[in-house]
Amino acid sequence: MLRWKTLAGLTLVTLLAAGAGCGDDDGADVREVGSADESGSAAASGSAAASGSASAAACEPVGDAGGADAELAVTLDEWSIEPEAPSVAAGAVTFTADNVGEEAHELVIVRGNDPAPLPVEDGKVQEDQLAEGDFIGEIEAFPAGEECQGTFELTAGDYILLCNIVEELDDGTLESHFEMGMVTTLSVT
């Protein structure tokens, strides 16, 4: 029942965003930000403000943290992603993302060791164009000053952590959190 309510809510937000002329999502549940209104919040599949003070829906934890084999704290800020350690043990890993910045951020996990070859269009990593199995999951955008958790099954190898929010500023330019430096690598052993 909760899934249908969430789906209905997302459908409504998408319809409102389309009517307001905001950008489209790439189909991979990545938050894209449209034009901001004067109040500092934007209506789109994700939300943030052109003024630099971002807003987003409350944290929606992902997975079951109770069954985690390992935990890793990750700090999100303008314009960095900093895991507390450069590696973590393979298995079910709970990421506790702490948004210490002034804007909404998200944490996307992708298999890989180099962000340079990732498919990017208009500042956004095109998750639907990644090789099969390379998109692991994400903690959707959540507000500044909050923490959010996500638990993901990770096998040994290299991973890329990134924020895939793109904001359209009042002057029409795009501000890509990924291109501004919100990307790092993580080794899983």
- Tens digit of each residue's pLDDT (9 = 90 or more) over 54-68: 458 899 999 999 989
Check residue 40 and give its pLDDT.
31
Q: How many CB atoms lie within 10 A of CB 179?
A: 16
Q: Which residues of the chain have pLDDT under 50?
A: 1-54
Tell which CATH architecture fits domain 2-188: Sandwich (2.60)
> Domain residues of the chain, as ranges?
2-188
| 58 half-sphere exposure, CB direction, 13 A CA radius | 0
pTM of the model: 0.73
Which among 26, 29, 178, 163 is positioned nearest to 108, based on CA atoms? 163
List pLDDT tens digits, range 142-152: 999 999 999 99
In this predicted structure, what is the pLDDT of residue 56?
A: 82
